[in-house]
A and B are shown apart, each in its own frame.
Chain A
Amino acid sequence: MTYFADVGALARKDLLLELRARDTLPAMLLFVVSTLVVFHFVLPAESSDLAATGLLWVALLFTALLGLSRSFAAEREQGVIDGLVLAPSDRSAIWLGKALSILAFLGLAEVIALPAYALFFRPVDAGLVGGVVLADVGIAAVGTLLAAMATASRARELLLPLLFLPLAIPIVIGGVGASVSGEPARYLGLLGLYDALFAIICWASFEYVVTE
């Protein structure tokens, strides 16, 4: 239980930091809404729903990338990661706490983004919502690990997209498939499998990312 108490303390700290600094979530909200507005005017009126759904996933993916690029900013700028690493708690708790806070930010961004998508393009169905929820889990799991890796590098702004986007391809395939397919269960299963597999890999390997 102490493990989950550590995770809770770390996730709560991230939410409190965001509540005080307000430097990640507002940017994510502004980005996703403005992207959907731009796509609304870019797409020709006779465009299919399929194209609109694809653009929604592009917007969600880059919104997530924006949030991930800021996710370890406090730890990097103030060197606090050393303090967290020195604590006797399991280092994977740092990953899980951070992933949960990123998941919360993504969820909040999508609470605004999905109604905006429904307003500009087409109604949102259960397959799309299910796909977005499962995609968020995978994005948070993989993105947190990669953001921690990138944060140690001087070229972090360049490195994070280069590492994250290739690994996000299965998420996009699963998410778009669940959104447009007549049988979303197959794609939701793919996303669930991706989430489980990568969550275990990221959980187990985080310690090696934050220690030399």
Chain B
Amino acid sequence: MIHARALEKRYGDKRILRGVSLDVGTEDFLLVTGPNGSGKTTLLRLCAGLAAPSRGELSVGVERGRLGYLGHEPLVYRELTAHENLDLYGRLYRIAERRERTGMLLERFGLWDARHARAGSFSRGMLQRLALCRTLLHEPSLLLLDEPYSGLDDEGERLLDRELAERVARATFVVATHEPERLEQFASARLALA
């Protein structure tokens, strides 16, 4: 699914990622760990196509519409409601039954009662739940998750555990985290960035 050789990323003089090579097969679960500034986020952005490598080779064997990306920002409009945000993404991803799918995800992540509230009024944890709904909306076959538990309360963490457990057998995961213990149960491969 993902093949990288001697991947390097620079921003100006600063080298963020140096000589990373990896192979991620279909339905693999790659756990990416490392201290702050080690390039975890950059690696995920490269895999998502949001940034281009400065050197090395990278191929991601999935088309854009089958990729789910969860970054540090929830990537939702604060002036739109939770439902309007998901509806917009549902249209752009051409999801045939987007109303049902949107409603189902909002319910699963405990946001159904807040579906008509603007995202700007959400707490950090609610925004993360909404971001997870956005990421999973189109049933991606490759999931790139950057610190997915960030901001979630205990219930939110349990909900995410359940989602991951259900999807681990039918999707490929690359998950960046500085708390790998929680995700060890799912991991089939590990990459430690220095």
Interface residues, chain A, with chain B CB atoms under 8 Å away: 2, 5-6, 9-10, 13, 16-17, 20-21, 74, 78-80, 82-89, 211-212
Contact = CB atoms under 8 A, between A and B. Distances in A.
B77 A82 contact: no
The main secondary structure of chain A at its interface with chain B is: helix
B73 A89 contact: no
Contact of A86 (B51, B67, B78, B79): B67
Contacts of B84: 13, 16
Contact of A78 (B51, B76, B134): B76
Given A6-B92, A89-B92, A82 B64 contact: no
A2 B76 contact: no
A78 B50 contact: no
Report, nearest first, the 10 A-B pairs whose CB atoms are least far apart. Answer: A88-B65, A83-B75, A79-B73, A87-B92, A9-B91, A20-B79, A212-B52, A212-B51, A17-B79, A88-B64
A212 B118 CA distance: 31
Interface string B46-73: 0011111000000000011101010111
B80 A86 contact: no
Interface residues on B, range: 20 to 34
Given A6-B92, A87-B93, A88-B64, A212 B50 contact: yes
Contacts, number: 77
Given A2-B94, A9-B91, A17-B79, A82 B63 contact: no
A86 B76 contact: no
A15 B72 CA distance: 27
Given A74-B79, A80-B73, 13 more contacts: A6-B91, A10-B92, A16-B79, A16-B80, A17-B77, A17-B80, A20-B79, A79-B71, A86-B64, A87-B93, A211-B50, A211-B52, A212-B51
A17 B88 CA distance: 12
A17 B119 CA distance: 12
A2 B91 CA distance: 9
A87 B137 CA distance: 11
Contacts of A5: 91
B75 A82 contact: yes
B94 A86 contact: no
A86 B69 contact: yes
Contacts of A89: 92, 94
Contacts of A87: 64-65, 89, 92-93
Contacts of B67: 86
